[in-house]
Structure 1
């Protein structure tokens, strides 16, 4: 506990202006924080201690935001210049944790962005990541870390529009990932590459994700642009990229009147989430990564605050999933006699096995379809061969018939001459017969 010092009049006015409740102010005073100078010595970690346990959770969160804003306003940074904002943590539940889900098209940099947030690599407990369009994440994974003393849980999901997987399979996996962030994610990061033109696939991916959830899901979405290092190399900015995208859309609208072209509207997607966007350079040094992550945390905190009574996303579907998950965990604990954490691991293993089974069934179905297609193509080739052979034989018969007609035409004059001779002979015989009968 601190000793009070100085005049507390300005501090009381400050608390009132910032909307701190009487309960919060009372607890601050009880712990000796009664002036602006002593208030600025308070830390986010102090607020989480037993000394402030009487302050309701939401009010403590608000107090942390006020403290952060005030320190920044007077030049007291909360971020160490070395970027040392991370510390390891366990996977146990924490009522004060922030839960983040990464979503986006295959190859957009979800896993790399997750590793930047966690300050980890694929070899140090982070997510698997690999450049290019090949999918590396095939099932949802979660990893946790503490950032500025706050536990952050990050869930990586398979890419939307993975050419090797059916949409139904990806959809099942994304819904399953919600079990990894019960009772719901505070933020859905939709990841897009900043150095490429916004494609129809990315546009469809965004709206497909939205369609999976309820209409109010956009209140929890932040657009995370990756490849910030390439923008830096091109001496460009994210704002310039968005301005160029807007020009493309306007140009397309002019062409569209004559039935030409169709470029998805990136600006509309950003507008749809109230302009919440961040740029990530996943190749930056530790200090720069820390600044990026701190900005993201600030944005998430602001979004959570704006979402008021519903700080994390939930709807009837996800609520049902979480209720069923809790029932399954209770069943596993009763049957296996294990802790809830162990039951969760068993449940996740079961879900992974189920997802693997679905994937294998889809692979088998695709293989059966491929063989069926091969058989149909073989039958088609055989049918074509037979038709050609039949047509070839028919052509020979036609040629023979034509030859016969030609021969008949050639012999017609001779036949006519024979006929004429026969007629003369017949006529002579007739005359002779009549002559004999008269006589």
Structure 2
């Protein structure tokens, strides 16, 4: 079987928004269909949709807007993790979408926030997407971004001046081919590899483990179906039917594993458990001053306090594992990445 080239691989695109409808209009623009209505300004759960961009197979992953005030911090943290699971083993491109006419102070901080959440090297795979509703075109728009409006220039410079402007009328897809070329050129500078860090490796491992469990669970069903196919078909037709069935089952299992796996289920629970044990131990030490009764009371109180702060402790522990970015160019960069990064999700 010939080796597949990069152009044959499904392009995984993680789309991120700070606020408003921009990222959802961008998803419609990329896929060429109305995945989200134009009234959608936020979503509560991360989603994955597949389609084509200028003949190239793509999977577009949307998470909640980063500044969505309707989501708690714990819910946002979980959904960002879910978006990572949906884009495993790693995205080929991260597109951050804004309304060109409504850039806010928060928007200026978004690339840094994305770096904090997804890893030190993520901006090497990131492009700014600006949705625009007006009559300016091409050179005038480029001058507006790079020369006239300093805040736009400052925003795109955080992603090495990679940006693309698309129409708020997403059905006007005249810029699709140019967007795809920009994504492919960005990937070429990274050796054609998708983005990956330790969090993505853990996400992929968890998804694969879940896949194995689901396959085992469905073995009786798949065995019966394969037997029925063998009774109905012969030769090439049988092979075609079996391949189609196995592909469908594999896609269903993968989709379920991405949405529900141990990395998503246990992250906060583990954090609370660690916090409870640590808090109880500290409480017993402090309580020992008052004797056995004080140890019991101190242990119980310390456990509850520790459990409440356990999620934060787990995030700190998780951060220590994820501070080295992918393919550090030298020892100094590796050292800086290891100890001077804000915690990821």
TM-score class, shorter-chain normalisation, is 0.5 to 0.7
SS of the residue 2:178 aligns to? helix
1:317 aligns with 2:203: no
What is the CA-CA distance between 1:281 and the residue it aligns to? 0.2
For residue 17 of structure 2, the aligned residue among 92, 104, 109 is: 104
Task: Report Cα offsets for 1:216-235 as digits up to 9, x if no partner.
Answer: 11110010001x223649x9
Preserved contact between residue 187 and residue 300 of structure 1 (Cα < 8 Å): yes
- Residue in 2 that maps onto 1:200: 105
What is the CA-CA distance between 1:266 and the residue it aligns to? 4.0
When the two chains are superposed, the root-mean-square deviation of aligned CA atoms in Å is: 2.7
Residues 150/241 of structure 1: CA separation in 2 closer, same or farther (3 Å cut): closer
- Residue in 1 that maps onto 2:254: 344
1:57 aligns with 2:1: no
1:162 aligns with 2:68: yes
Preserved contact between residue 92 and residue 125 of structure 2 (Cα < 8 Å): yes
1:217 aligns with 2:122: yes
- Residue in 1 that maps onto 2:168: 282
1:298 aligns with 2:184: no
Task: Report Cα offsets for 1:162-219 as digits up to 9, x if no partner.
Answer: 01112342232122112222221110000111012x3222123332111012211111
Task: Report Cα offsets for 1:391-412 as digits up to 9, x if no partner.
Answer: xxxxxxxxxxxxxxxxxxxxxx
- Residue in 1 that maps onto 2:39: 130
1:237 aligns with 2:141: yes
For normalisation by structure 2, the TM-score amounts to: 0.61
SS of the residue 1:280 aligns to? strand
Structure with the larger RCO, 1 or 2 (CA within 8 Å, 6+ apart): 2
SS of the residue 2:16 aligns to? strand
For normalisation by structure 1, the TM-score amounts to: 0.49
Equivalent residues in 2 for 1:6-405 (5 A)? 53=2, 57=5, 61=7, 96-121=9-34, 126-130=35-39, 134-135=41-42, 137-196=43-102, 198-226=103-131, 228-230=132-134, 232=136, 237-246=141-150, 265-283=151-169, 286=171, 288-289=172-173, 291-308=174-191, 311-337=193-219, 339-348=249-258, 350=260
Residues 304/335 of structure 1: CA separation in 2 closer, same or farther (3 Å cut): same
Preserved contact between residue 106 and residue 161 of structure 1 (Cα < 8 Å): yes
SS of the residue 2:107 aligns to? helix
Preserved contact between residue 21 and residue 39 of structure 2 (Cα < 8 Å): no
Structure 2: gaps spanning 5 or more residues: 223-248, 269-345
Following TM superposition, the consecutive aligned residue runs of length 4 or more in structure 1 with deviations greater than 6 angstroms are none
Once residues 349 and 109 of structure 1 are traced to their aligned partners in structure 2, the CA distance between those partners, rounded to angstroms, is 24
